[in-house]
């Protein structure tokens, strides 16, 4: 019998080391399973699985380049203002290397649990389909769980993580529903984006400005010269390079010159600043390219699966799907968010508190979404408010959360949307309770809350339907 | 047209709404019975690519005007019928329908 136990153990260890620890292979296999389940032709199955695996490899390379650019940026900017660069024990690259398999399993299991929840409760209504955020939310949840319970094993992390993530995907489009109905009254799809909390805050605070009347952003004419800014590759390269050039001007002459010489002997610090800005933007572009490559295979597979299991469910989609409702608000929100963020960057640096990194992608998508909802509630003042709140939350969130994740993947703090910060801090807030088995409290609380909310909503909807009044927009999510 | 139609769907970073648009575009092209290959990408990458048709929201298509012979601007990411009729009209005008 010992022989059997030994060989089973050996097989499990082999699988853990060589499959669940090797993310490209694991994602490739998950994609393969998804495509086979949909009975795709063999060329699609082979091509899709390999593209997904290559995508993950590219993602890892992008993370390395991005982290390198980030480090140079922080070092020189911190020196320029006489502060210490943010400390970190580990990096996102290490974290994805050691926990990538766990993240892939959380993503898959959470999606299945989410499908079950939507199938069981009519009030859940929306299926979460924003693929890249499905990946990143799984990542931040695993990072927060590892921070809260460093000793937890992979099965515990996978099950706890999947519970929290499934609860979030199920509830987030539901709590955004009342605001969504103001922007997209047809209710054909939900809003699935991790900017949701800042959108809710904007919608709530925007009411202070009074009724919309004739103040919609869509009556404004915005200067066309701003348009190149909405290409996030361009705005990232530009903003980070300009900040670095300023930092080189302010920093001690040796720091920048040393850094430049490290890259290439004889390189001017000014050219170095420009190259690091470009490299930083390049790293993010590579990272996103990798994510795009594996998502292009996984998302249609997920959609195919859910269409079969729960036909007729409304999808919840990425933030840009609401942008056509108010394109001018999007630009206004982005500009306001960036202005406020850069202002805080200067203030935090002057105070020696933290060296912020301008997250142009998040400033665009979160600032843009918050502004669309702000505009729907209060016109252009609401849009500006949404952008400004985004700038504040992203700046403060980044500064606070970097330290929280210093032992896992601090760079996640610079790639984060508002909901990531909330989730990370909620899980870390359970830390005093965490010790061994207490980590299970997190998914249990999340799932019980989800079911309770869905039951209550379902009951109210049936009652409203019984009174023969159509669902009103004022109902709370 | 005797070859596969090359179609690009674009959005800001090329993996959220453009991916959803890709699914919608594939449904629309299937409804028109046109053989096509649809790829989702971001606006920066799109500039270096070739396609017969580019589909995106106005925020982006306004700057991608000369990238492809046909640029379709959408406001509804799930409207298969609307996209199909827009594509049918534009493809016919360019003599790209069989």
pLDDT digits (tens, 9 = 90+) for A247-271: 888 877 777 888 888 888 888 889 9
Contact criterion met (CB below 8 Å) for A447 and A116:
no
pLDDT in tens, A394-434: 999 999 999 999 999 999 999 999 999 999 999 987 777 76
pLDDT band at B31 (very low <50, low <70, confident <90, very high): very high
Provide the pLDDT for residue A329.
92
A62 close to B (CB below 8 A): no
Nearest CB neighbour to A232, from listed B13, B59, B63:
B13
pLDDT band at A476 (very low <50, low <70, confident <90, very high): very low
The residue-averaged pLDDT of A89-110 equals: 91
Query: What's the rounded Cα separation, in Å, for the pair B29 and A432?
Result: 55
Query: What's the rounded Cα separation, in Å, for the pair A324 and A330?
Result: 9
Lowest-pLDDT choice from A67-71, A140-144, A315-319:
A67-71
Which chain B residues have a beta carbon less than 8 Å from that of A230?
A: 12, 43, 59-60
- Is pLDDT of A300 > 60? yes
Query: What's the rounded Cα separation, in Å, for the pair A418 and A401?
Result: 11
Q: CB distance A317–B43 less than 8 Å? A: no
Q: Which of residues 208-227 of A touch B (CB under 8 A)?
A: 227
pLDDT in tens, A196-224: 999 999 999 998 887 666 688 877 777 77
Q: CB distance B15–A323 less than 8 Å? A: no
The model's pTM is 0.88
What is residue B31's three-state secondary structure?
helix
Lowest-pLDDT choice from A53-57, A308-312, B30-34, B48-52:
A308-312
Provide the pLDDT for residue A12.
78
Provide the pLDDT for residue A109.
93
pLDDT band at A70 (very low <50, low <70, confident <90, very high): confident
Interface probe for B, chosen from A323, A332, A362 (most Cβ of B below 10 Å), is A323
Please, is A188 exposed, middle or buried when counting C-beta atoms within 10 Å of its C-beta (0-12, 13-18, 19+)? middle
Nearest CB neighbour to B15, from listed A231, A288, A319:
A288
For residues A123 and B3, which has the higher predicted lDDT (pLDDT)? A123
A213, HSE (Cβ side, Cα atoms, 13 Å): 5
Which chain A residues have a beta carbon less than 8 Å from that of B20?
A: 129, 315, 317-318, 321
- Please state the domain extents for chain B: 5-94
Contact criterion met (CB below 8 Å) for A432 and A150:
no
For residues A136 and A301, which has the higher predicted lDDT (pLDDT)? A136
Q: Does A465 map to a domain?
A: no
Q: Rounded mean pLDDT of chain A?
A: 87
Q: Read off φ and ψ for residue B57, nearest 5 degrees.
A: -90, 165
Question: Of A160, A58, A146, whose CA–CA distance to A99 is shortest?
Answer: A146
Interface probe for A, chosen from B20, B25, B38, B55 (most Cβ of A below 10 Å), is B20
Interface probe for B, chosen from A195, A231, A364 (most Cβ of B below 10 Å), is A231
For residues A171 and A88, which has the higher predicted lDDT (pLDDT)? A171
pLDDT in tens, A7-52: 888 887 887 777 777 888 988 988 888 888 778 889 889 999 999 9
Provide the pLDDT for residue A474.
45
Question: Of A325, A386, A473, whose CA–CA distance to A199 is shortest?
Answer: A386
Provide the pLDDT for residue A475.
42
B83 close to A (CB below 8 A): no
The number of distinct structural domains making up chain A is 1
- Is pLDDT of A315 > 60? yes
- Angle, alpha carbons A87-A89-A92 (nearest 5°): 100
Provide the pLDDT for residue A461.
87
Which chain B residues have a beta carbon less than 8 Å from that of A330?
A: 59
pLDDT in tens, A270-280: 999 999 999 99
CA distance B20 to chain A (A): 8
For residues A211 and B22, which has the higher predicted lDDT (pLDDT)? B22
Which residues are within 8 A (CB) of A321 and not within 5 positions of it... i.e. 6 or more apart?
Answer: A189, A191, B17, B20, B77
Provide the pLDDT for residue A1.
54
Task: State whether ipTM is beyond 0.95.
Answer: no
Q: Which of residues 376-415 of A touch B (CB under 8 A)?
A: none
Q: CB distance B43–A231 less than 8 Å? A: yes
pLDDT in tens, A140-187: 999 999 999 888 889 999 999 999 999 999 999 999 999 999 998 888
The residue-averaged pLDDT of A68-95 equals: 84
Residue A33 structural domain:
2-433+443-455
CB atoms within 10 A of CB A214: 7
The residue-averaged pLDDT of A441-448 equals: 92
Query: What's the rounded Cα separation, in Å, for the pair A386 and A375?
Result: 8
Q: Does A285 map to a domain?
A: yes
pLDDT in tens, B70-86: 999 998 888 999 999 99
Looking at the domain that runs over B5-94, which CATH code has it been given? 3.40.50.2300
Nearest CB neighbour to B75, from listed A129, A295, A324:
A324
pLDDT above 90 coverage of chain A, percent: 50
A263-301 burial: b if 16+ Cβ within 10 Å, else e: eeeeeebeebbbbbbbbbbbbbbbbbbbbbbbbbbbbbb
Query: What's the rounded Cα separation, in Å, for the pair A196 and A243?
Result: 29
A129 close to B (CB below 8 A): yes
Which chain B residues have a beta carbon less than 8 Å from that of A227?
A: 62-63
The residue-averaged pLDDT of B4-22 equals: 88
Provide the pLDDT for residue A69.
85
CA distance B45 to chain A (A): 10
Question: Of B76, B79, B47, whose CA–CA distance to B60 is shortest?
Answer: B47
């Amino acid at each position: 019998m010992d022989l059997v136990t030994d060989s089973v153990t050996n097989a499990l260890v082999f699988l853990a080391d060589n499959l669940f620890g090797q993310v490209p292979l694991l994602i490739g296999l998950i994609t393969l399973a998804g495509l086979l389940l949909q009975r795709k032709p063999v060329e699609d199955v082979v091509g899709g699985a390999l593209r997904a695996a290559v995508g993950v490899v590219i993602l890892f390379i992008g993370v390395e380049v991005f982290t390198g650019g980030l480090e140079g940026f922080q070092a020189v900017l911190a020196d320029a203002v006489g502060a210490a660069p943010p400390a970190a024990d580990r990096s996102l690259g290490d974290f994805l290397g050691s926990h990538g398999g766990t993240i892939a399993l959380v993503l898959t299991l959470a999606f299945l649990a989410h499908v079950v929840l939507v199938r069981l409760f009519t009030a859940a209504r929306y299926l979460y389909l924003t693929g890249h955020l499905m990946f990143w939310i799984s990542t931040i949840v695993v990072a927060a769980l590892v921070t809260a319970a460093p000793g937890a094993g992979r099965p515990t992390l996978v099950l706890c993580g999947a519970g929290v993530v499934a609860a979030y995907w199920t509830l987030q489009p539901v709590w955004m529903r009342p605001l969504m109905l103001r922007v997209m009254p047809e209710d054909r799809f939900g809003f699935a984006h991790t900017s949701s909390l800042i959108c809710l805050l904007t919608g709530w605070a925007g009411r202070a400005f009074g009724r919309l009347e004739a103040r919609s952003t869509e009556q404004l004419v915005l200067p066309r010269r701003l348009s190149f800014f909405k290409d996030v590759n361009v705005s990232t390269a530009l903003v980070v390079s300009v900040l670095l050039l300023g930092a080189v001007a302010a920093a001690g002459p040796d720091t920048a010159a040393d850094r430049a010489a490290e890259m290439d002997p004889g390189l001017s610090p000014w050219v170095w600043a420009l190259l690091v800005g470009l490299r930083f933007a390049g790293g993010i572009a590579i990272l996103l390219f990798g994510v795009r490559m594996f998502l292009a295979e996984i998302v249609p597979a997920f959609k195919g699966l859910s269409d079969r299991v729960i036909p007729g469910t409304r999808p919840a989609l990425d933030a840009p799907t609401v942008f056509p409702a108010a394109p001018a608000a999007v630009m206004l929100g982005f500009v306001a968010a960036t202005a406020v963020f850069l202002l805080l960057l200067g203030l935090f640096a002057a105070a020696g508190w933290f060296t912020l990194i301008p997250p142009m992608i998040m400033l665009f998508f979160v600032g843009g979404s918050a502004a669309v909802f702000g505009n729907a509630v209060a016109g252009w003042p609401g849009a500006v408010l949404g952008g400004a709140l985004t700038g504040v939350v992203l700046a403060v969130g980044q500064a606070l959360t970097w330290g929280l994740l210093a032992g896992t993947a601090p760079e996640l703090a610079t790639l984060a949307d508002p909901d990531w910060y909330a989730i990370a801090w909620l899980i870390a807030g359970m830390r005093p309770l965490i010790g061994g088995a207490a980590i299970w409290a997190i998914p249990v609380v999340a799932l019980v809350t989800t079911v309770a909310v869905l039951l209550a909503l379902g009951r109210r909807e049936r009652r409203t339907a019984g009174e023969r009044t159509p669902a009103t927009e004022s109902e709370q999510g | 047209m005797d070859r596969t139609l090359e179609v690009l769907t674009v959005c800001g970073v090329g993996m959220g709404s453009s991916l959803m648009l890709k699914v919608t575009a594939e449904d629309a092209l299937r409804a028109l019975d046109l053989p096509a290959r649809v790829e989702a990408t971001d606006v920066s990458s799109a500039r270096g690519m070739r396609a017969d048709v580019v589909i995106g929201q106005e925020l982006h298509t306004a700057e991608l005007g000369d990238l492809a012979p046909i640029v379709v601007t959408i406001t509804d990411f799930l409207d298969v019928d609307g996209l199909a009729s827009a594509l049918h009209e534009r493809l016919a005008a360019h003599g790209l329908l069989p």
